[in-house]
Amino acid sequence: MDAIQIRPAQLTDLNPIASLLLQLGYSATEAQLQQYLNNPNRTDEIYLAESNGVVVGLISLIFFDYFPSQQQICRITALVVTEASRGLGVGTQLIDFAKDRASKRGCCQLEVTTSMRRDKTQAYYESIGFEKTSFRYIQAIEGK
């Protein structure tokens, strides 16, 4: 694979973003994504990895204050690489990019969540230095 460039997602990227999200199990129309990306109150950052002008990966980041430690944390909220590009280092490059963004924002740690069903993904994260430290519990809010 040729060199990877990582750049901010743009409105012209709606189709590849929708395709990548679908690989994670999230269905979004281009209209929904356009509305989301146009929201001036968004607090996340979304980046795409490209090879020869073709989108091969996506990472989204949020930065937040964590009261218990009085520090800022960067969380990867989505990370996906096209099936054809998996195993070629794209995911690791995206994570390295996230580490750099987190460092520049003064974060004390980078964290990522993944489905309990994704054993290979968990093994990958652990192989590159992430440590499983907690469980995440969710509860839906009625009407949302």
Long-range contacts of 36-44 (CB under 8 A, 24+ apart): 37/9, 37/10, 37/11, 38/11, 44/77
- Average of pLDDT values for 55-67? 96
| Whether the Cβ atoms of residue 56 and residue 19 lie closer than 8 Å to each other | no
The structural domains of the chain, ordered by start, are: 5-127 (3.40.630.30)
Q: What angle do CA 26, 73, 9 make, to 5 degrees?
A: 45
Q: What pLDDT score was predicted for residue 90?
A: 95
Neighbouring-strand partners of residue 54: 51
Query: In the structure encoding, which two tokens stand for residue 97, read together?
Result: 């990019």
- The total number of residues written for the chain in this structure: 144
Q: What pLDDT score was predicted for residue 13?
A: 96
Query: Which residues have CB under 8 Å from 136's CB, separation 6+?
Result: 113
**pLDDT digits 0-9 by tens, 79-136:** 999 999 998 999 999 999 999 999 999 999 999 988 778 888 888 888 888 888 888 8
